[in-house]
């Protein structure tokens, strides 16, 4: 059932309490339901978007500019899934090697994740050369509140309470006994056998940091909570053109045919040999006549013969020409971190977020190396041409076009010096607090995070089932 405030929730004897009703929290509750395990989801926001609710996402950024953190995440039923683009693809196996996780441990949950996201389990990859692959994304139409509202309303095993913000936990020696929530300006203490934070790539860290301040001794203060925060830098890398038929001929039967941009991604070999981060390139398939004309004009000046060939290909619709967008992995850096502001609090008395963030030089180097190698490939195979933006060529800067993937802060790992949760997503040295969502990502890879978030949450349901059996 769905409740508008905590006063109406029937009882306070919960097996599993999940904080956050985005893709992570709802996916976990749905899987627990299949196992006949009751759960209570507590959501800070309202049923739909509210300016007043978003005010609780106030923040301060110290360092380089990012997309507005107050609007790049949503405080409402369904979380940020109400504005996501739906792009889905698994993180590369070789990226997961740094997670203290074997890819098989989460890949076995792929079918359930695809069912939740309404996508096909079909993520093709075709090898272009030793440095690049053509890749395919799936696009999910799912807005979690819209798809699962009726299901949760009628469920006997899932309760959802809106308008209820968790601020901190109480307990001792790693045993989390209660969560303090504010619901319609009233304070409540929530009991549970197991608590799960699924509040996103910023709020998970913020809640834990405030708990350290409020409940001395409950959480190991040496854990790097809030550190190693990351995003996916998304920016314009340059312009260029690609001869689609040439690409088809090069790949043969392996060419991936679909509508939309052509996606190319770095291989493990390129990342290792050039000592760079992973990245994906998006060649816009939409025709942009203005860009076409500019590129043709440039080539007619420099190389009239080649310029005429390009103009002819344009008329034959064989050329994919225009902007080259890049989505890059970001280097985990302990200095990029979330902390609590010392002077300003939200309407419920919780300190707002300070985010310390500086762009990485390695991101610029990665962008330049990937574009250079792609340019070499295009020339060697006569696939087209690439022109790198001056600011990237000169390693000066890049302009973030959107920073909507918030990752890190409670990362997975074995070593408590550089991780916050273990491979089962349990907070180090705790007995009953688990964390799921993008905050546990050790590295970001180049792929969008939601598909992996859903798989991790489904996997967590298996672990919670084991834990409940131990204490029953």
Q: What is the pLDDT of residue 319?
A: 45
Q: Poorest-confidence range of 63-72, 151-160, 226-235, 252-261?
A: 63-72
The HSE-up count of residue 210 (CA atoms within 13 Å, CB side) is 25
pLDDT band at 309 (very low <50, low <70, confident <90, very high): low
Count of Cβ atoms closer than 10 Å to residue 6 Cβ: 21
Q: Poorest-confidence range of 21-25, 83-87, 309-313, 443-447?
A: 309-313
Helix then strand then coil, in percent of the chain rounded to 5, is: 35, 25, 40
Which run of H or of E encompasses 149?
helix 144-154
Q: Going by C-beta distance under 8 Å and a sequence separation of 6 or more, which residues neighbour residue 192?
A: 14, 15, 16, 17, 40, 179, 432
How would DSSP label each residue in 372-405? Answer: HHHHHHHHHTT-EEEEE-HHHHTT-----S----
Q: What is the pLDDT of residue 279?
A: 96
Tracing tokens 């574009």 back to the chain, one arrives at 371
pLDDT band at 304 (very low <50, low <70, confident <90, very high): low
Alpha-carbon torsion angle 84, 89, 90, 93, nearest 10: -130
- Distance, in Å, from the CA atom of 407 to the CA atom of 452, rounded to the nearest integer, reads 12
Tracing tokens 């180090």 back to the chain, one arrives at 428
pLDDT per residue as tens digits for the range 34-53: 999 999 999 999 999 888 88
pLDDT band at 150 (very low <50, low <70, confident <90, very high): very high
pLDDT band at 284 (very low <50, low <70, confident <90, very high): low
Phi, psi of 33 (to 5 degrees): -60, -40
CA distances from 119 to 88, 151, 196, 304, 451 (A): 8, 19, 26, 47, 10
Average pLDDT over residues 97-105: 88
Average pLDDT over residues 8-19: 88
Average pLDDT over residues 212-220: 94
User: Comparing 289 with 154, which gets the higher pLDDT?
Assistant: 154
Taking 50 as the threshold, does the pLDDT of residue 314 lie above it?
Answer: no
pLDDT band at 376 (very low <50, low <70, confident <90, very high): very high
* Multiple choice CATH, 2-55+75-115+142-231+407-471, 3.50.30.30, 3.40.50.12280, 3.50.50.60, 3.40.50.300: 3.50.50.60
pLDDT band at 453 (very low <50, low <70, confident <90, very high): very high
pLDDT per residue as tens digits for the range 111-148: 999 999 999 999 999 999 999 999 999 999 999 999 99
- Distance, in Å, from the CA atom of 75 to the CA atom of 426, rounded to the nearest integer, reads 24
Which run of H or of E encompasses 167?
strand 164-172
In the chain, where does the domain assigned CATH 3.50.50.60 lie? Answer: 2-55+75-115+142-231+407-471
């Amino acid at each position: 059932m769905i409740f508008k405030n905590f006063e109406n929730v029937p009882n306070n004897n919960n097996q599993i309490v999940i904080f956050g009703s985005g893709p992570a929290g709802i996916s976990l509750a749905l899987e627990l339901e299949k196992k006949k395990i009751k759960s209570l989801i507590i959501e800070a926001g309202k049923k739909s978007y509210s300016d007043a609710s978003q005010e609780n996402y106030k923040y301060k950024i110290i360092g380089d500019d990012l997309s507005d953190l107050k609007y790049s995440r949503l405080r409402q039923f369904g979380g940020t899934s109400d504005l996501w683009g739906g792009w889905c693809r698994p993180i590369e196996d070789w990226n997961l090697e740094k997670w203290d996780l074997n890819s098989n441990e989460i890949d076995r949950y792929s079918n359930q994740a695809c069912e939740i996201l309404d996508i096909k389990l079909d993520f093709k990859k075709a090898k272009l050369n030793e440095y690049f692959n053509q890749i395919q994304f799936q696009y999910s139409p799912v807005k979690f509140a819209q798809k699962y509202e009726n299901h949760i309303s009628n469920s006997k095993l899932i309760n959802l309470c809106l308008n209820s913000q968790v601020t901190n936990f109480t307990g001792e020696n790693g045993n989390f006994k209660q969560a303090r929530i504010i619901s319609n300006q009233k304070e409540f203490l929530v009991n549970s056998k197991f608590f799960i934070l699924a509040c996103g790539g910023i709020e998970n860290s913020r809640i834990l940091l405030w708990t350290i301040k409020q409940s001395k001794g409950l959480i190991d203060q040496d854990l790097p909570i809030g550190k190693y925060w990351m995003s996916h830098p998304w920016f314009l890398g340059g312009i260029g053109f690609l001869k689609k038929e040439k690409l088809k001929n090069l790949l043969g039967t392996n060419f991936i045919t679909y509508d939309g941009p052509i996606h190319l991604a770095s291989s493990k070999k390129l990342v290792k040999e050039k000592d760079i981060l992973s990245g994906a390139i998006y060649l816009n398939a939409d025709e942009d006549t203005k860009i076409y004309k500019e590129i043709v004009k440039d080539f007619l000046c420099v190389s009239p013969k080649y310029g005429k060939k390009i103009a002819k290909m344009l008329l034959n619709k064989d050329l994919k020409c225009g902007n080259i967008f890049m989505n890059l992995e970001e280097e985990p850096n302990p200095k990029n971190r979330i902390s609590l502001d010392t002077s300003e609090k939200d309407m419920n008395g919780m300190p707002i977020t300070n985010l310390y963030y500086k762009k990485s030089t390695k991101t610029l180097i990665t962008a330049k190396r990937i574009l250079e190698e792609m340019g070499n490939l295009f020339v060697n195979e006569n696939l087209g041409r690439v022109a790198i933006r001056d600011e990237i060529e000169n390693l000066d800067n890049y302009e973030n076009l959107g920073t909507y993937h918030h990752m890190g802060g409670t990362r997975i790992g074995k070593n408590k010096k550089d991780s916050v949760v273990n491979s089962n997503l349990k907070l180090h040295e705790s007995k009953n607090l688990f964390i799921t969502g993008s905050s546990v990502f050790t590295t970001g890879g180049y792929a969008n995070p939601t598909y992996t978030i859903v798989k991790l949450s489904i996997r967590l349901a298996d672990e919670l089932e084991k834990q409940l059996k131990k204490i029953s």
